[in-house]
Amino acid sequence: MRESDIPRTSFDGPGRDMQAVWDALVHDAKVFLAVVSRAGTLLFVNGRAARELGASRSSLVGRSLSEFFPDDWFAERLEFINKALETGEPVIVKGMRGGSWTRTTFRAMPGETDESQEQVLIVCRPSSELDPEHRRAGETGVFLAKCQTKGQLDSLTQRELELLRYIGQGFSTAEIAKRLHRSVKTIEWHRVSLGSKLGVSNRVELARIAIQSGLCNLDDTACPA
């Protein structure tokens, strides 16, 4: 990026009376947090965001999100950034990034009327398909991302994803066979094939992947059929 391309703006953080709240969000919440311009230029990132983007916090300021994500992914997120600025309302987006479900909120930061100085706060945290926002996708302010990156799950079929979800939920092979109307032998064969695709050798590792990806929620007693 040329120096002339960097917006002549800076992010100075909140007022002194909100400093404790801001520090808690940036450091204690352990979420991906960034402040960006309308064009998607990074103006501020916390430590978690810097680690996920693979660079130091100082080196990320002034760079575009387009450098770190596919073009279609960036274009869609840019739409969410602009929607948050135009409506003044938070935009909540559910989607899979790198094989893990996330809940990302785009929120316009108050105080700027000049378009070149407008800023949006992005907060992204791990989520699940079973979170309330996922069920409400399509309602005002809640969206299911069209552009998603499934990571290691991208090679799995819908049936394999369903099997992985049940394994993560803790169902036995016999219970899964009953739910999917298949024989125990067939389910066991699919489990071995699933482990081969994901590079793991046992149910414990498969369950870990399912939980990490957000395919299941340990607070629920059963996965959706």
Average pLDDT of every residue of the chain: 81
CATH number of 151-213: 1.10.10.10
- Overall average pLDDT of the 49-56 stretch: 91
Average pLDDT over residues 159-188: 91
Q: How far apart are CA 153 and CA 99, in angstroms?
A: 6
- 213-222 pLDDT, tens digit per residue, is 767 653 343 3
Domain boundaries, the chain: 3-144, 151-213
- pLDDT at residue 107, rounded to an integer: 94
Structure tokens of 2?
A: 């040329």
Confidence of residue 63 (pLDDT cuts 50, 70, 90): very high
Residues 6 or more apart whose CB falls under 8 angstroms from that of 17 comprise none
Give CATH for domain 3-144: 3.30.450.20
122: tokens are: 């992005």
Describe the strand order of the beta sheet including 142-144 as a list of residue ranges. 42-45, 32-37, 119-126, 100-108, 91-97, 142-144
**pLDDT-based confidence at residue 47 (cuts at 50, 70, 90):** very high
- The pLDDT tens digits of the residues spanning 76-93 come to 999 999 999 999 999 999
Instruction: Residue 39: name the closest of 72, 7, 4 by CA.
Output: 7
Determine contact, residues 144/136, Cβ cutoff 8 Å. no
**Crossing angle, helix 184-198 and helix 173-180, to 10 degrees?**
110
Mean pLDDT, range 178-204, rounded to an integer? 90
Helix (H, G, I), strand (E, B) or coil at 107: strand
Q: Residue 174 carries which side chain, given as an amino acid letter? A: A
Tokens of 119: 């800023």
Q: 203-213 vs 184-198: helix axis angle to the nearest 10?
A: 70
pLDDT tens for each residue of 97-141: 766 778 899 999 886 666 778 999 999 988 765 555 545 555 567
How far is the C-alpha of 8 from the C-alpha of 181, rounded, in Å? 61
What DSSP state is assigned to residue 39? T
Pairwise pLDDT comparison (207 vs 25), residue with the higher score: 207
Please classify residue 70 by burial: count the beta carbons closer than 10 Å to its beta carbon, then call 0-12 exposed, 13-18 middle and 19+ buried: exposed
Residues 168-185, mean pLDDT to the nearest whole number: 92
Extract the runs of DSSP E, i.e. beta strands, from the chain: 32-37, 42-45, 91-97, 100-108, 119-126, 142-144
Question: At residue 170, what is the residue type?
Answer: G
Task: Determine the pLDDT at residue 14.
Answer: 61
> Is 6 a residue whose pLDDT tops 60?
no
